[in-house]
Amino acid sequence: MLNNLWGGMILLAIVVALFTGNIPALTNAAIESARDAITLCITMLGIMSMWAGLMTVAEKAGLVQALAHRARPLLRYLFPDLGKDHPAHEPIATNFIANILGLGWAATPSGLRAMKVMQEENPQKDTATRSMRMFMVINMSSLQLVTISVVAYRMQYGSANPSEIIGPGLIVTAITTVIAVAFCKILDGLEHSKERISAPVREKNIRFQSANVRGVRS
């Protein structure tokens, strides 16, 4: 995907520059950007080395596993379909905690394993289960507590207080994760009531639930 995106961006720049008469500016922009990129990487080398070092201390001390163990009650709430002590719990928790700590390299393998384990019990192999949906939406709601790379970029561009955005970022991240969970729980509830309508159970409930279903479709 980046192949087309990158090539497209540069070709678009050249085409637009032909129309706007900005062709002479392109050369300087290309050369200056290339130089700035390396200056930035030099700043990042220090900050990212420090952070990755600290996170490795946490990893080697077993902090990820310890937190994953503590998270089990929460996992039971988020994934009721999986039941108690499901084999997917461990990779799910590892993925969440690695994401929270910003350990990208540990997050992806455990995330893929979680999906694979959940797929084994999936009756419809081409359709996501409720647990998969919950896992994916939380995963994509942004979990990372400290985005150290943004702090490094701000420092490189001369911010007076590069880390001042950590607090607000943390609060927004927490709220979006709650929204992600609420979205999935509400959808679970709506689908559940829809399934129950198709089976003739109690007449009183049917009228109430069909109102719900109409609400979803509109």
Partner 1 sequence: MSQVILFLSDLIIPLTFAGILMYAFSKKVPVYDNFIVGAKEGFLTVFGIAPTIVGLMVAVGMLRASGAFDMLSYLVSPLTNFLGYPTEAVPLTLMRLVSSSASTGLLLDLFELHGPDSFLGRFVSVMMSSTETVFYTMSIYFMSIKITKTRFTLAGALLANFAGVALSLWITNYLY
The helix/strand/coil state of 116 is helix
Instruction: List C-alpha distances in Å: 85 to 71, 79, 81.
Output: 12, 11, 11
Among 96, 132, 193, 209, binds partner 1 (CB under 8 A): 132
206 contacts partner 1 (rule: CB under 8 A): no
Q: Is 212 a binder of partner 1 (CB under 8 A)? A: no
Written in H, E and C, the secondary structure of 159-207 is CCCHHHHHHHHHHHHHHHHHHHHHHHHHHHHHHHHHHHHHCCCCHHHHH
Identify the residue among 78, 115, 131, 209 touching partner 1 (CB under 8 A): 115
Minimal distance in Å, beta carbon 188 to partner 1? 10
Q: Is 63 in the site for partner 1 (CB under 8 A)?
A: yes
Residue 3 interacting with partner 1 (CB under 8 A): no
- Nearer Cβ to partner 1, position 155 or 197? 155
**Interface with partner 1 includes 45 (CB under 8 A)?**
yes
- Does residue 197 interact with partner 1 by CB under 8 A? no
Coil vs helix vs strand at 157: coil
Query: Are residues 79 and 92 in contact, defined by beta-carbon separation less than 8 angstroms?
Result: yes
Among the listed residues 73, 83, 123, 158, the single contact to partner 1 using CB under 8 A: 158
Smallest gap from residue 24 Cβ to partner 1 (A) = 9
The answer to whether 167 and 151 are in contact (CB under 8 A) is: no
The CB density around residue 114, as the number of other CB atoms within 10 Å, is 25
Q: Applying CB under 8 A, which of residues 90, 92, 93, 111 lies at the interface with partner 1?
A: 111
